[in-house]
Amino acid sequence: MSLAEVSRTGRLANDKMANDKMALETAAVTRLLVAQGILDYSGHVSTRIPGKDAFIIQTGSNSRAELTPETMLVVDYDGKVLEGEGQPPSELPIHIEILRARPDVQSVLHSHMELAIAFTMMEGVKLLPMRARASRWKSGIPTDPDPSHIKTPEQGRALAKTLAHHHAALMRAHGLVLVAESMQALFIDAVHFKENATAQMQALQAGARPLPLTDAEIEQIEKMEMRDWHIKKLWNYYVRKGATEDVLPSEWKDALVPTKEMLKRDRIIN
C-alpha cells in the first residue's frame, strides 16, 4: 500500500469515527428531548457533517424515544440518502434549506412543542426573552406564517428566510425551529427555550403584564456569560440523568459524558 493510500485510509477511518460520534449524539439528543417533553412522536434534529455536503438525521418512521446510531441516515442537500436504511422525515426541506442558508449553524431542531405553538395563536402576544438564558434570542423570535407541513423546497426556503440571522423561529399553529453551533448546544438551548416560554406563559396566566429582559439587562447578562462551559455543565447533567433513568443506554455514557478536564472552569467570566 502506498503512502497516499495509507493516508487516505486513515482519513476515511477518522471520518467514519467522527460520523459515528455525530450519529450517536444526534440519537442521544433526540431521546433526551423526548424525555424533556420537547419532542414526541414527531419532530427531528439534524447535524451538519463538516467538510461534506451532507448531514445526519433520523428516519421518519422510527420512534424518537428509541433512536440508535444505526437508525440514523446521512442525507445530501438534494434529499438523497447516502448512508443508512429507510426514508428521512417528510419535512426534510426544513433542515436542507436552513443548513444551506446558515453556514454558521451546525445543528437544527424542528419541534411541535405545544407551549411554543400557543404563542402563535394569541393576538398581540409575542414570545420574548424573559429569563437570563433567553438572552440567546435577543435578536427576536419571528413567526413563519405557513401553518402546513414544510414539504417543498420553496416552503423550506421561506422558513429559512423567516429565521434569517435569528437562532429561533416559531411556525404558525405548527411548531418551531431552533439552530445552534453544536448538537449539545442545540439541546441546552431547547431546554432554556421551553423554560423561557413557560415563564412568560405563567406571567400571562397570572393576569400580569410580562416584563421581558431589557437591553441593559441583556447586556449585563452577556458580560457574565460562559456559554461553552455552561453547555458542557448541563450536557454532563442531562446525559448522566438520562443514563440513570434508562432514557439513554448505559453503554453510551462513556462516549457522551464530558471529561473532568473539559468540565474544568479556568475563568469566572469571558
Compute the residue count for the chain.
270
Cell of 65: 424515544
Q: What is the mean pLDDT of residues 64-89?
A: 96
Cell of 222: 452577556
Distance CA 74, CA 76 (A): 7
Distance CA 67, CA 230 (A): 26
Residue indicated by cell numbers 448512508: 83
> Side-chain half-sphere of 153: how many Cα atoms within 13 Å?
5
Please provide the distance, in angstroms rounded to a whole number, between the alpha carbons at the two ends of the chain: 49
Smallest Cα–Cα separation from 114: which of 161, 165, 173? Answer: 173
* pLDDT tens-digit map of 106-118: 999 999 999 999 9
Cell of 7: 493516508
pLDDT > 90: percent of the chain? 87
**pLDDT at 252 exceeding the cut of 80:** yes
One-letter amino acid at 41 equals: Y
Q: Are 197 and 119 in contact (CB under 8 A)?
A: yes
* pLDDT tens-digit map of 177-232: 999 999 999 999 999 999 999 999 999 999 999 999 999 999 999 999 999 999 99
**pLDDT at 5 exceeding the cut of 50:** no
- What pTM does this model have? 0.92
